[in-house]
Every structure is written in C-alpha cells, then in structure tokens.
Amino acid sequence: MRQTLVIIKPDAVNRCIAGKVIQRFEEKGLQIKAMKMELLQPYVLKEHYAHLKDKKFFEGLISYMASIPSMLMILEGKDAVKVVRKMVGSTQGRDAEPGTIRGDYSVSNQSNIVHASENEEAAKEEIKRFFKKEEIYEYKKMDFDWIYSRDETYMKK
C-alpha cells in the first residue's frame, strides 16, 4: 500500500465543495488514514512550494493558500500517488479533463481545488511535513476485502 498527501485548498473550503472532493476519494476506494483542518502558515507553505520560489505567482500563491484554513488528508491505497494525481487532473482547471476533480470544479490555475503529491518521494516528504505520527490511524476498513482482489491483497506494494 502507498500513501499520498492531499490538501483541499482554500477555494474548495470557501465554495463548500470539500465534502464532494472527499466523497470522490472515498468512493474510489482510497482509505483516509488522517484528516484535519488547518490554517497553513506561510513558512510551511514556502517550504512546500519551494520548487516554485522563482515563479512570478509564488507570493500570490502563498498568500492565497494562507488566507483561510485548508483540509489535509493522507490517502492510502495501491499506487495511491498515481491514482490520486489522475483523479485530480492537470494544474490549469480550464484544461483539466472533465471527470477529474479540477476538470469538474475549477476554471483557474491557482484556485484549483486540491493539491496532491506529485510522486512517491514527494508524498513521503509532504506527509512528514504536515502530519505527526500520532495523527495517522491504522485501522481495517470493513469493505477492504471487496475493494481489492485476494491476489492484490496479499501482494505487499
């Protein structure tokens, strides 16, 4: 099983569609291992978006992300990083495919509803950045045996 970090961004919280976004992940079969609401501080956001620090939109991005609380989640499943990125869609909401979260709810390249870790390495780093160990829960979901086949369940990854 793999884990990935999702941030439901201020625009989604403000537009009252956070529940719809969470529902999509639940319905797909991903397991929520951790979830909280938090007003993200500029210093953490600057670390999180360090790869964009030379971009013109950097300061605007930080102040938008720090404007009202976000909802943060750790999702777990087989190939969770890839699965979630695919569900989220491309950065620019206007280009994102219908059926993806951004494609269905966003027409912006900043107010684009969610952040999802880009790859396995980023996921590990981001989970550590935003969650303490004791905020992450180990539990077996009732429907687990129906979400994956037996063969998949016994394979480690």
Give the C-alpha separation, 107 to 96, whole Å: 9
Contact flag: residue 63 with ligand TYD (CB under 6 A): no
Annotation says 115 is catalytic: yes
As a whole number of angstroms, the longest Cα–Cα distance in the chain is: 49
- Nearer to ligand TYD by Cβ, of 22 and 45: the residue is 45
122 binds ligand TYD (CB under 6 A): no
* Minimum separation from the CB atom of position 94 to ligand TYD (A): 12
Cβ(35)–Cβ(112) below 8 Å: no
| Binding status of residue 112 toward ligand TYD by CB under 6 A | yes
Question: Applying CB under 6 A, which of residues 35, 109, 120, 125 lies at the interface with ligand TYD?
Answer: 109
Task: Assess 106 for contact with ligand TYD (CB under 6 A).
Answer: no
Q: Are 127 and 7 in contact (CB under 8 A)?
A: no
Q: How far, in Å, CA of 46 to CA of 9, rounded? A: 15
**Residue in 79, 110, 125, 148 binding ligand TYD, rule: CB under 6 A:** 110
The verdict on 67 binding ligand TYD (CB under 6 A) reads no
Rounded to an integer, what distance in angstroms lies between the CA atom of residue 67 and that of residue 41? Answer: 9
Q: Would you mind telling me the total number of residues written for the chain in this entry? A: 157
Considering the candidates 25, 105, 115, 127, report the single residue annotated as catalytic: 115
Among 22-30, 71-79, 112-120, 127-135, the segment contacting ligand TYD (CB under 6 A): 112-120
> Can you point out the beta strands (E) in the chain?
2-8, 31-38, 70-77, 114-116
| Active centre residues (catalytic) | 115
